[in-house]
Amino acid sequence: MAAETVTSTERLRRARFAVAAVFCVHGSVTGSFATRIPWIQEHAGVSAGQLGLALAFPALGASLAMPLAGAVSHRFGARTALRGLLTLWTLALTLPSLAPNVWGLCAALFVYGATAGMSDVAMNALGVETENRLGKSIMSSLHGMWSAGALIGSAAGTVAAHLGGDARLHHLIAALVLTALGLLFCQGVLDMRSTPDEEAPPRFSLPPKSALVIGAVGFCAVFAEGASLDWSAVYLRDELGTSAGLAAASTTAFALTMTVARLAGDRVVDRFGAVRTVRVGGAVATLGGVLVVLAPHAALAMAGFGLIGLGVAVVVPLAFAAAGRSGPNPSQAIAGVATITYTSGLIAPSAIGGIADATSLVFSFGLVTLLALGLVLGAGVLRSGGAGGGETAGAKAAPEKAPGPVG
């Protein structure tokens, strides 16, 4: 019996590391693409306005495709589904740089977003299941690994861009390497399969009510994150007269803050629970927003942006975890939360810009501060059974055989 327990524990530990590596691979694709957007824009011959239109298509593709992830997992099993969906995502990295014009770019980014969204749902559902079986929080560190992957991908892309490399060659090499790594890491994740008599989830359906409520909390966090990432440098330059170099450094510092906080967040969640963690995080992010709005000089504003990043870092991972435990169909709930957060990430940069045009950037970040306050008020919806789900953590691990399909 003891030997069986050790074997089961070791298998779960390997599954945790494997799914963490999958998150890192997924993030690396995003980082690799983002750094070569200027090259892609020039190669496709699109204007700034046309580029803005094209960059809406990843979120559109993701939103339409994410509900399909549950059906794919039901049919093929969790491990096989993740292996196939992640491979489609890593290979989709090659498409945008091949686009000859704006319409080709829109089509490429639609496929890019669709494969990103489906693999995102699949890996988050597996992360939630692994967390449930381990009986402790791991979702924050998994998303921290995604952020680390994005930093690795963007660093490699920055080097390639600095050397004047062709993005088509860069993305082909990156796609092949990441595909190989993804296939390797997928071998170690949990492999849940549906029972023969289990009804398949619908291919398309509206998110359950629980996902809408949980997604609203994720919306606030992602809006604050997206606004800070995309506009912090502009805010420091235009509102506080900071140099371009220091302003750009603030964005990198914000991303690093988010990554470190997510990697360390599981210990906090295990000790204090998801609700208290998000409530305190919301208070920290609110304080950060106040500092940004009232800052008379750059140092205080940079500290404010750092506090926003620190405060919102673990919210989305905990929202996914809560969604995965909120009903009988984890994939459907996670897809619903993912759709809401993707939408928030899409509209945040343009909303901040639109409000700033009508009023000012200071007023825009006043709105961000109010949304951060919403995390304090709405944290209670993340209370659910399971590891890290409520005010206390430490749920017992689930049995090795899952009762049904997981993303």
For residue 197, being part of any structural domain is answered with: no
List the CATH number of the domain containing 55: 1.20.1250.20
For residue 279, being part of any structural domain is answered with: yes
For residue 261, being part of any structural domain is answered with: yes
276 and 179 within one domain: no
Going from the C-alpha of 383 to that of each of 74, 76, 294, 352, 393, the distances in angstroms are 27, 31, 34, 31, 11
For residue 390, being part of any structural domain is answered with: no
Reference 78, options 208, 188, 205; nearest CA is 188
Q: Is 166 helix (H, G, I), strand (E, B) or coil?
A: coil
Percent of the chain whose pLDDT exceeds 70? 87
Report the mean per-residue pLDDT for the chain: 84
Are 30 and 145 contacting, i.e. CB atoms less than 8 angstroms apart? no
353 and 238 within one domain: yes
Percent of the chain whose pLDDT exceeds 90? 43
pLDDT band for 160, please (50, 70, 90 cuts): confident
**Average of pLDDT values for 186-197?**
78
Per-residue model confidence (pLDDT) at position 327: 66
- What's the pTM value of the predicted model, to 2 decimals? 0.78
Q: Hey, how many other C-beta atoms are within 10 angstroms of the C-beta on 80?
A: 15
pLDDT band for 3, please (50, 70, 90 cuts): very low
Q: What are 233-254's pLDDT values in tens digits? A: 888 888 898 887 777 777 777 8
Q: What are 270-308's pLDDT values in tens digits? A: 899 999 999 999 999 999 999 999 999 999 999 999 999
263 and 136 within one domain: no
Q: Hey, how many other C-beta atoms are within 10 angstroms of the C-beta on 364?
A: 22
Per-residue model confidence (pLDDT) at position 200: 58
Per-residue model confidence (pLDDT) at position 229: 80
Distance CA 297, CA 301 (A): 7
What is the domain count for the chain? 2
Task: Classify the phi-psi angles of 268: left when phi > 0, otherwise alpha if psi is within -120 to 50, otherwise beta.
Answer: alpha
pLDDT surpassing 90 at residue 186: yes
Domain edge (last residue) among 190, 223, 255: 190
User: Which residues form the domain of 269?
Assistant: 207-384
97 and 57 within one domain: yes
60 and 18 within one domain: yes
318 and 246 within one domain: yes
114 and 211 within one domain: no
pLDDT band for 316, please (50, 70, 90 cuts): very high
pLDDT surpassing 50 at residue 68: yes
Per-residue model confidence (pLDDT) at position 244: 72
For residue 404, being part of any structural domain is answered with: no
55 and 184 within one domain: yes
Are 257 and 265 contacting, i.e. CB atoms less than 8 angstroms apart? no
pLDDT band for 344, please (50, 70, 90 cuts): confident
How many residues are there in the chain? 407
For residue 215, being part of any structural domain is answered with: yes
289 and 155 within one domain: no
290 and 185 within one domain: no
Longest dimension (CA), the chain: 68
259 and 183 within one domain: no
Per-residue model confidence (pLDDT) at position 295: 92
What DSSP designation does 96 have? Answer: G
Q: What are 334-343's pLDDT values in tens digits? A: 888 888 887 8
For residue 368, being part of any structural domain is answered with: yes
145 and 79 within one domain: yes
